[in-house]
Structure formats: structure tokens, C-alpha cells
Amino acid sequence: MLSKKLLQYLSDLKKNNYKEWFHENKPTYQLLKNEFLQFIAYAIADIAQFDNSVKNIDPKKCIFRINRDVRFSKDKLPYKTNFGGFIVPGGKNAGFAGYYIHIEPGNCFLAGGIYMPPPDKLKAVRTEIYENTKEFKKILNDKNFKKHFKEIISDDKLKTAPKGFPKDFEDIDLLRHKHYTVVKYINEDLVTSDKFADEISEVFNALYPFNSFINEAINYQLGLND
């Protein structure tokens, strides 16, 4: 279970997002980081019960640094105001679909899928959807999936058919996504309750077929299993 201290720390960090405050409170940060790391380790073990591909992943390879990369950003605040963990085969930078936990005051959510994949992997997913549309739509329309996720996030889509695919394809809208991700927002009270672990298990179990379709598409279309 995650403590209320974690959310309080992130709230305080948002109000004091500068290096001096962060270093003065670094012992608190380290304690809470370890708490989150242990929680991710627990989540990995739980997810591995239905998705064997994440078994034995090092939780340290799943969590994101709190330092922001400000090199190319107008926003020069040095720290993120969230704790995030992406549980995925090979670790967070492996380029596969996985399970994401985001803890931030006023913006907590569970998400999954694949975000901003490189061109070869994006084409692989689109090709698999094109060739197995019925199977993919069955996953999206499954009542267990729809209980938690409304639809694929569609705020960044092509205006027309992607190159190499017919414009008159009946389900062309499914191929216009630049990433294939879904999200479920959750209440802060749930995050710090003993029911949060059960929520993660239920939500990510419903997400598993979606992730599995994407990862199998990448492995098959790119010949990564050979």
C-alpha cells in the first residue's frame, strides 16, 4: 500500500520545485522512492500471475527518474511532480506494450499499451491490426476491457490513411493512431487504501489481451522471435 505521505510530498514538491528545497528534503524523497519501488515490485509479481512476460523484471528498470529533461523545454522546472512506473518486458525503455502506474496529486491513473513507438514497431502494430481486425476489435469490445477503458487515446492521429495501407479500408480509423495507449483515471483515496492493489490486478488483467496483441504483433512482424 502507498502512504499518504507520498502524495503529500509530491504536493509539497509542486509548490517548491527548485533544487534547494529538493536537496533539503532528499531523505524524505529517498524513503518514498523506496516505498514506490517496493510497490512496483509487488505489482510485477501480481501481474506475472497472468502475464508471464514480466516475470522477474527488475523494478528499478521500471520506474522513471524524478529529474526532468529540460534541455529542449520552455518549462525549466527541474523535477517531475509524479512517481511513475512502467512494467514491461525488458524494462521501461524496451519499446514494448506494458502496464503504467502514475501517482500524482489530482492526476492518478493506470494506463497501458505502447506510447510513441518507433516507425518499424508502429507499422508492425498497424499491419497486425489490418490483417487481424476482427481479433483486435474483439479485444476492444470485450466487456471486461470496456469496464475500465473507454477507447484508445485519440488525441494524436493521422488525418488520413498511413502510408502503405488502403484508404478505403473499412476500419482505417484504427490504423491512424500514432500510439496505442489506454488510460483509467483513479481517485487519490483509492491509491492510499488497501484496495489499490486489487484495483491494479483487476485493471491490468483486463488490459493484458490488448498488450499481448501489440507485443505479439511486434515480435511476429519484425521477426524478433526467430
Cα–Cα distance between 62 and 16 in angstroms, integer? 26
Cα–Cα distance between 6 and 192 in angstroms, integer? 9
Identify whether 43 is part of a domain: yes
Identify whether 226 is part of a domain: no
The per-residue pLDDT for 154 is 82
H or E segment to which residue 102 belongs: strand 98-103
Q: How far is CA 41 from the centre of its chain?
A: 16
The per-residue pLDDT for 155 is 81
> Rounded to the nearest 5°, which phi and psi values hold at 19?
-65, -40
Identify whether 95 is part of a domain: yes
CB 196 within 8 A of CB 1: yes
Which domain range does residue 146 map to? 4-221
The per-residue pLDDT for 225 is 67
Burial bucket for residue 197 (CB in 10 Å: 0-12, 13-18, 19+) = middle
Helices (H), 99-142: 119-131, 133-141
Identify whether 175 is part of a domain: yes
Listed in sequence order, the residues at least 6 apart from 21 whose beta carbon sits closer than 8 Å to its beta carbon are 13
Note the pTM of the prediction, 2 decimals. 0.95
The per-residue pLDDT for 222 is 85
Strands 180-186 and 108-114, how do they pair?
A: antiparallel
Q: Is the pLDDT of residue 226 over 60?
A: no
CB 209 within 8 A of CB 83: no
Q: Torsion-angle region of residue 75: left (phi > 0), alpha (psi -120 to 50) or beta?
A: beta
The total number of structural domains in the chain stands at: 1
What cell was used for 18?
527548485
Angle between helices 119-131 and 196-221 (to 10 degrees): 90
Reported as a single tens digit per residue, the pLDDT across 139-153 is: 999 999 999 998 999
Reported as a single tens digit per residue, the pLDDT across 73-113 is: 888 899 999 999 999 998 898 999 999 999 999 999 999 99
Give the angle subtended at the CA of 97 by the CAs of 47 and 36, to the nearest 5°: 50
CB 145 within 8 A of CB 207: yes
The per-residue pLDDT for 86 is 97
Reported as a single tens digit per residue, the pLDDT across 194-216 is: 999 999 999 999 999 999 999 99
Identify whether 119 is part of a domain: yes
Q: What is the mean pLDDT of residues 19-31?
A: 97
